[in-house]
Structure 1
Amino acid sequence: MSPDSFDLTSLPALTDANDVVKAFAANPAFRAAEWEELTTEDDPWRRPVRPDDLEWLDYSKPMPAHKKLKLSALLGHRMLRNVYDAGNVHLPPRSTEVNATSAKQFHSETSRVLGALAKPILERHLFTLLEEQRPELSTVDVKTITETVRGYHEQRVARPGELFDVALRTRGRKEAATFVLLQLSAFRPAAHTAIGRAAIGEYDTAHPALRGLLLDDYRAWVDASAAYRELLSAASLVPTAGAYWQLYLGTSLGRGNLLQHYASDPSKVFELAGAYVHEKIDRAATGKRFTEVFADGFGYSGNFFGPDTGLSSAGLDELLGKLLPPLAENFGTDALAAFHRGFSDARWFAETWDADLATQLDWADKIEEYQEKAEKIDQHLTNENIEVDLDTFVETNEETSTTHVHNEHRLVMIETGQMHFWNNVTHKIQLNEGDKLLIPVSRLHGSTVLSGSCTYHQPIIPDEMLQQLL
């Protein structure tokens, strides 16, 4: 960008952190979704953020850990991914007038300037909570960190994650497997991009092994592109970046964003190295389980995950032997501590993601049960004459609610009209007049009105009441 091509006076007035975030999200490429934009397979730059909600969300301060699955986290990670991806090359399957317009909007100079201003605000809001989640080391040295990482590797290989068991218990196995793959596609390519970016630099003298390891990892990802396309194709999905944007969980975006956060800041190269080691362990621990879920769900028989499962205990020791001693010898305990921070942060995101995805899969597979629970709750409110906070919406034909989560438990109660309710690419759920559905806190969903108009209510159900009733 040259001074001659950009007019600073074109920027909106920005008086605080939230003004910056809202100005960035005002990019037309991030506007609320329309009815035909549940997926965007032909447009890697059309990424609905749900910007209207930014009027009441506060990004000026760090997000507490208990809000890690709430709306500000979801929208924050959507915006932050767009900030990072503004510096990456994406291409659509074919050029159209629509996606050409999206590309210009996404990569516009104004958007990149606003993104640069929003980046530290969003990173502070989303990542500060990690400081409280990191376990302390008794001693910061190569031996202690090696033992810590080795113990985690053994634990993960033995227990790869709850989500796999939940996916294989669902009644709708194809739907569950497809949704799991959507989440994998939200963070795996982003993680590889971050690792590849961190390989660019001149630091071999200070650390003889790191750049080569990162470069080899990215090269392996490039070599696996055909196998990755085959995996997606088995589920009738495409590899276009952001193709299923509305259906990515905030934690899925967050896993990729963490590595992008480290890779975008040269001062955090040692954190990136720690997160990279976690990625290697995570792939080794989960590859066979992903293959099992995808084979069961949609008949996948490829070998995309085969190379990932080969990290043995001896291989991990060899990897750590290449990485950790140069950090200690050339940069001291501060570098080792940074490595451990990156490793621990990636571990926290992986564990949070596993629990979030497992809960989403279970809820989505039991929609009929949650309709029955909604009837029970509504009957209780009526019988006991209990008043709760209530939001009412009147929407018109084809009006679409960009996917989101609620910060509390809510019922959806259709008074008049019809809507499609959705939480996956595989199917939509039709809700008609009189239908009710319980949406627990932090469960991702969206909707589109089918009738000329639709009036519906959302009673907010206190957590204590929900636990007592259910």
Structure 2
Amino acid sequence: MTLAPSEILSSLDPEDSNSIVKAFAANTAFRAAEWEELTTEDNPYRRPVRPDDLAWLDYSKPMPAAKALKLSALLGHRMLRNVYDSGLLYLPPTAGKAPETDGAAFYSDRNRMLGALAAPVLEQHLFTLLDGERKPLGSSDPAHLRREVREYYQQRIAEPGRAFTTALATKDRKASATFVMLQLSAFLPAARTAVGRAALGEYDATHPGARTFLLDDYRSWAGLHDTYRTLLAGAALKPTAAAYWQLCLGTSLARGNHLHQLSHNREKYPEFLGALLHHKIEEAADGPRFAEVFEDGLGLRSTLFDALGAVRETDLDALVDRLLLPLVGVYGDRAVDRFHQGFADARWFSQLWDEDLAEQLAWADSIELHQEKAERISKHIEDNNIVVDLDTFVESNEETSTTHVHNEHRLVMVERGQMHFWNNTTHKLEFNEGDKVLIPVSRLHGSTVLSGECTYHQPIIPEEMYQQF
């Protein structure tokens, strides 16, 4: 039965913004993953969110920066991407019952309405922290902004991100390169789609040339589809939207969501242009590094990063003036501050992503070491009769845990049965009775039970104990 808009609204508690988020996440296309859904290469609408976790997560207030790599951020950015994408066209690569059913739910009036209500709740929770992290420009003089942009460009060109150096130092470089490509797929198409959304409107008289600039940028991306698809194919990946949803870091989703948020909320046009400028600088700095990681780990020599047309240092001043100066006539000196705000916030998300990806790559490449650490920590707890908080799970065959992160360090200890454990598309780890592994805070992973039943425990490891090992 389809509920009328008034019935949908009446079912929500206006005093409980969490009820709106929960109602949105209850969409059948967002249900928890099943065992065969590690990837969804034939279904762009199937996007597991772990809705059961919303029973204890609070989206009614802003998230502190200290939790930007934790569970509410990951699930929040998954839900927010679903809000933004429900207003865009996605088509499945082939016909099938699953994409037909999930597509109907994804594009339903109910989903659009609940998404419109959930978006400001999620945006407040996920983006308010930027107000406390942003360093002010200190001047409303465009020359001051141009200088900061040039200095940042020079710094980024000179200093490779930690994520790239980590990827090139891992033992399994094929797995690392594949995971890096999965993260690129989570934000590069989203960022360019946000540019296309921002281009729509009639504003040429006030901001001459801006619309064609944005449209040309999006058109160039659309023209690179075959190049992008070939790059993914070289890693045995497909270009279907959200095909590798469960393996996208929250920070990868956040980078695309930030641009979507600014383009979706039309009053944030100056902030959007500042964030777009940052994105173009990142492409100039990181394009060659992505190419190096993919060539090293996968043997791919893609022309995608050359074809993106990254901005050059000699063009920066003119680009800042082209994007910014007409806005001063509309918003006054405040335009400079707002443009810089978008630039600085995009920079913050980029740095957070670099840290997150580097940690994920290093952990995934050293699972054996973390299994050894788990044994030592477990023995330390037992030998010293240390009491720690403990969660125990009893799950049946093919029961699956949608990929997630923990808000604390945990051990996974299999008491009985077998399970698959995964953190990439390249392979799965089989855990049997007695096996243990240490999962540090904020590391993305999922699991599936292989045996008829599996009992496993998750002791929560205090930070002080974690540092000992």
TM-score band w.r.t. shorter chain:
over 0.9
- Partner Cα separation in structure 1 for residue 321 and residue 111 of structure 2: 43
Extract unaligned runs of 5+ from structure 1.
none
Residue 167 of structure 2 is matched in structure 1 by 167
1:407-436 Cα offsets, whole Å, 9 max, x none, are 000000000000000000010000000000
Greater mean alpha carbon deviation, residues 173-182 or residues 212-221: 212-221
Equivalents in 2 of 1:408, 1:85: separation in Å?
A: 31
Q: In 1, Cα distance between the equivalents of 2:37 and 2:190? A: 22
Q: Distance in 2 between matches of 1:10 and 1:63?
A: 27
Q: Secondary structure at the match of 1:206?
A: coil
Q: Tell me the equivalent position of 1:241.
A: 241
Q: Which amino acid aligns with 2:439?
A: I
Q: In the alignment, does 2:15 pair up with 1:31?
A: no
Instruction: State the partner residue of 1:152.
Output: 152
Match in the other structure for 1:75:
75
Structure 1 pair 55/326, CA: closer, same or farther in 2 (3 Å)? same
In structure 1, the residue matched to 2:7 is 9
1:202-258 Cα offsets, whole Å, 9 max, x none, are: 111111132222111101101111110010000000000000000000000000000
The amino acid of 1:8's aligned partner reads S
Residue 10 of structure 1: CA displacement? 4.3
Q: In structure 2, what is the Cα distance between the partners aligned to 1:382 and 1:6?
A: 58
The answer to whether the 8 Å contact 1:141/1:328 transfers is no
- Deviation of 1:385 after TM superposition, in Å, equals 0.7
Secondary structure of the structure 2 residue equivalent to 1:305? helix
Distance, in Å, in 1 between the alignment partners of 2:210 and 2:364 is 42
Give the deviation of 1:141 after TM superposition.
1.7
1:341 aligned residue: 341
The verdict on how the C-alpha distance between 1:102 and 1:316 changes in structure 2, with shifts beyond 3 A counting, is same
Aligned residues: 466
Task: Spell out the pairing of 1:253-402 with structure 2 (5 A cutoff).
Answer: 253-308=253-308, 310-402=310-402
TM-score w.r.t. length of structure 1: 0.97
Where does structure 1 differ by over 6 angstroms across 4 or more consecutive aligned residues? none
User: In structure 1, what is the equivalent of residue 405 of structure 2?
Assistant: 405
**Structure 1 residues 399 and 351, CA gap change in structure 2 (3 angstroms):** same
Q: Secondary structure at the match of 1:402?
A: strand
Q: Deviations over 1:266-290 (max 9, x none)?
A: 1001111001100100000011110
Q: Which of 412-421 and 128-137 deviates more? A: 128-137
Residues 98-117 of structure 1 show CA distances to partners (whole Å, capped at 9, x for unaligned) of: 11001001111111111111
Between stretches 316-325 and 189-198, larger displacement belongs to: 316-325
Shift of the 51–205 alpha-carbon distance from structure 1 to 2, 3 Å rule, reads same
Kindly indicate whether residue 447 of structure 2 is the aligned counterpart of residue 447 of structure 1. Answer: yes
Distance change in 2, residues 1:122/1:321 (3 Å): same
Contact 1:209 1:323 in 2 (8 A): no
Q: Which amino acid aligns with 1:218?
A: Y
Distance (whole Å) between structure 1 residues aligned to residue 195 and residue 330 of structure 2: 22
Provide the rounded CA distance (Å) in 1 between the counterparts of 2:310 and 2:466: 45
**CA distance 1:374–1:140, change in 2 (3 Å):** same
Deviates more, 1:297-306 or 1:244-253: 297-306
Q: Summarize the Cα distance change of 1:160–1:215 in structure 2 as closer, same or farther, 3 Å threshold.
A: farther
The answer as to whether partners of 2:405 and 2:444 remain within 8 angstroms in 1 is: yes
> 2:401, 2:447 within 8 Å by CA — same for their partners in 1?
yes
1:427 match: secondary structure: coil
- The amino acid across from 2:217 in the alignment is D
Displacement of 1:323 in angstroms is 1.6
User: In the alignment, what sits opposite 1:62?
Assistant: 62
Mapped pair 1:90 → 2:85: no
**1:327 shift after superposition:** 2.0
Deviations 1:420-453 (A, max 9, x none): 0000001000000000000000000000000000
Q: Pairwise mapping of residues 195-274 of structure 1 onto structure 2 (< 5 A)?
A: 195-274=195-274
TM-score for both structures, normalised by structure 2: 0.98
Q: Is 1:124 the equivalent of 2:113?
A: no
Alpha-carbon offset, residue 362 of structure 1 = 0.2
Cα deviation digits, residues 319-354 of structure 1 (max 9, x gap): 112122212234211111111111011100000001
AA matched with 1:306: D
Letter in 2 for 1:56: W
Give unpaired runs (5+ residues) of structure 2: none
Alignment of 1:425-464 (within 5 A): 425-464=425-464
Alpha-carbon distance in 2 for matches of 1:203, 1:9: 38
Mapped contact 2:280–2:310 kept (Cα < 8 A): no
| 1:309 Cα deviation from its structure 2 partner | 6.2
- What letter matches 2:437 in structure 1? L
User: For residues 140 and 463 of structure 2, what CA distance do their matches in structure 1 show?
Assistant: 42
Work out the percentage of aligned pairs sharing the same amino acid. 61
Q: Is the 8 A contact 1:30 1:47 kept in 2?
A: yes
Deviates more, 1:401-410 or 1:10-19: 10-19
Partners of 1:351 and 1:160 in 2: CA distance: 12
Larger CA deviation: 442-451 vs 110-119: 110-119
- Helix, strand or coil for the counterpart of 2:128? helix
